[in-house]
């Protein structure tokens, strides 16, 4: 897919991720013990053979820039094409949008124009999935489509606290109706905010929107143009989850404890790459009791860990208990402390005997570097 330009949109502010996104964008939120959420889409693009990738960022991007660095972990460090950071060109919080923001795209049209690629793969930064985009391009050609939107069939009873793009798809795969709403569902098909089209078509849609004062790519660029363009839906049958709140973050992180999901996400179409660090192996002391958990390298475990995810360099001292929790990098849980249903951001210290308890439906979030 050398002829495809990858665009990752990280301009959406996920306010409901609360403390996790106070100092970082959604793309840079730690995930699965050693990843950042953006690693999934970035690896999908790299594994599919996309060699030119632009990331639209927001103001808090230090953490993301540090993480992706030169792009070498995704094999994107190259003299031709490579990884491009497209920083915000205006106050990002003036806008709220779903599938990208027309103004953001418009301000970086130059990057699109200068890229040699003919096609465009567009994805939001907050989706956890492992997918071979080459299938999408094949489908696009087969259907002679103008635009392909990737969708997933979900349970209609599933409530969502955010606007989703609901689709009505005919037998031939063409999208006949779309609705962007919190409640309205046209069918079980929900767009994953991943799209494939010709670069020139994308630029034309952006241009049309700007000319008419429209700002929402989904509503103005796609829904209003439904009759003008042949828009098709491509079903992603595998696992995909959208991280847009503390609850979805917690729930979907815990999905990784199911071996079939762990295997699919990390090994199905190609590996998920991330910034690699030199950490020693995880060490389990004689007193360690670890069950149903994901443990990253560099952890030192002497206590009890159940149904939890421990990121790199976490220490669980003897007699400490961690249950149903996510502990990010270098967290320290001291002797006799108890952590339950909680999300501890990086470098949190829980001093001896302290107890931190949230509820499964409302996990407690402890901000970075807090000492409890």
Nearer to other proteins among residue 164 and residue 240 (C-beta): 240
Nearer to other proteins among residue 105 and residue 273 (C-beta): 273
Please state, in angstroms and as integers, the Cα–Cα distance from residue 143 to each residue in 67, 106, 147, 290, following that order.
Answer: 38, 28, 10, 50
Nearer to other proteins among residue 125 and residue 329 (C-beta): 329
**Cα(91)–Cα(140) distance, rounded to whole angstroms?**
36
71: DSSP letter: S
Q: Which of residues 45-74 bind other proteins (CB under 8 A)?
A: 73
Minimum Å gap between C-beta 247 and other proteins is 22
Minimum Å gap between C-beta 185 and other proteins is 34
Q: How many residues bind other proteins (CB under 8 A)?
A: 41
Taking contact as CB under 8 A, which single stretch among the options 32-40, 128-136, 217-225, 335-343 is the one that binds other proteins? 32-40
**Cα(302)–Cα(290) distance, rounded to whole angstroms?**
9
Candidates 1, 8, 42, 309: give the one binding other proteins (CB under 8 A).
309
Per the CB < 8 A criterion, the answer to whether 372 and 348 are in contact is yes
Please state, in angstroms and as integers, the Cα–Cα distance from residue 217 to each residue in 14, 107, 211, 222, following that order.
Answer: 18, 14, 13, 6
Token pair listed for 52:
């030119």
Candidates 111, 214, 229, 284: give the one binding other proteins (CB under 8 A).
284
Nearer to other proteins among residue 209 and residue 256 (C-beta): 256
Minimum Å gap between C-beta 48 and other proteins is 17
Does 295 interact with other proteins (rule: CB under 8 A)?
A: yes
Candidates 165, 205, 288, 343: give the one binding other proteins (CB under 8 A).
288
Taking contact as CB under 8 A, which single stretch among the options 31-39, 112-120, 320-328, 356-364 is the one that binds other proteins? 31-39
Minimum Å gap between C-beta 84 and other proteins is 23
Q: 6 Cβ partners below 8 Å, 6+ apart?
A: 45, 50, 52, 53, 54, 120, 121, 123
* DSSP states along 229-263: S-EEEEE--S-EEE--SHHHHHHHHHHTTSHHHHH
Per the CB < 8 A criterion, the answer to whether 243 and 128 are in contact is yes
Minimum Å gap between C-beta 166 and other proteins is 32
Footprint of other proteins on this chain (CB under 8 A)? 32-35, 73, 257, 259, 262, 265-266, 271-274, 276-286, 288-298, 300, 302, 309-311
């Amino acid at each position: 897919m050398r002829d495809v330009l990858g665009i990752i949109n990280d301009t959406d502010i996920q306010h409901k991720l609360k403390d996790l996104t106070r100092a970082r964008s959604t793309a840079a939120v730690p995930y699965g013990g050693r990843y950042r959420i953006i690693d999934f889409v970035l690896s999908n693009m790299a594994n599919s053979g996309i060699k030119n990738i632009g990331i639209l960022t927001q103001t808090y991007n230090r953490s993301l820039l540090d993480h992706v660095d030169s792009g070498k972990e995704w094999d994107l460090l190259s003299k031709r094409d490579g990884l491009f950071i497209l920083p915000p060109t205006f106050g990002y919080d003036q806008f709220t949008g779903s599938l990208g923001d027309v103004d953001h795209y418009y301000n970086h049209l130059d990057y699109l124009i200068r890229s040699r690629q003919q096609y465009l793969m567009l994805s939001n930064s907050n989706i956890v999935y492992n997918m071979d985009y080459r299938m999408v391009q094949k489908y696009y050609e087969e259907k002679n489509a103008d635009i392909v939107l990737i969708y997933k069939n979900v349970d209609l009873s599933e409530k969502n606290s955010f606007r989703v793009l609901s689709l009505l798809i005919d037998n031939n795969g063409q999208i006949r109706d779309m609705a962007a709403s919190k409640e309205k569902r046209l069918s079980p098909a929900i767009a994953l905010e991943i799209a494939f089209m010709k670069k020139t078509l994308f630029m034309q849609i952006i241009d049309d929107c700007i000319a008419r004062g429209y700002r929402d790519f989904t509503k103005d660029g796609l829904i209003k143009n439904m009759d003008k363009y042949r828009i098709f839906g491509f079903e992603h049958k595998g696992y995909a989850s959208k991280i847009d709140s503390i609850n979805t973050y917690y729930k979907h992180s815990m999905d990784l404890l199911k071996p079939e999901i762990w295997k699919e996400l990390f090994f199905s179409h190609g590996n998920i790459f991330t910034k690699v660090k030199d950490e020693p192996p995880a060490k389990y002391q004689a007193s360690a009791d670890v069950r149903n958990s994901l443990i990253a390298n560099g952890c030192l475990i002497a206590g009890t860990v159940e149904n939890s995810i421990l990121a790199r360099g976490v220490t669980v001292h003897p007699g400490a208990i961690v249950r149903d929790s996510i502990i990010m990098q270098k967290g320290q849980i001291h002797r006799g402390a108890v952590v339950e249903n909680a999300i501890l951001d990086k470098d949190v210290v829980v001093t001896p005997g302290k107890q931190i308890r949230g509820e499964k439906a409302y996990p407690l979030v402890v901000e970075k570097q807090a000492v409890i």
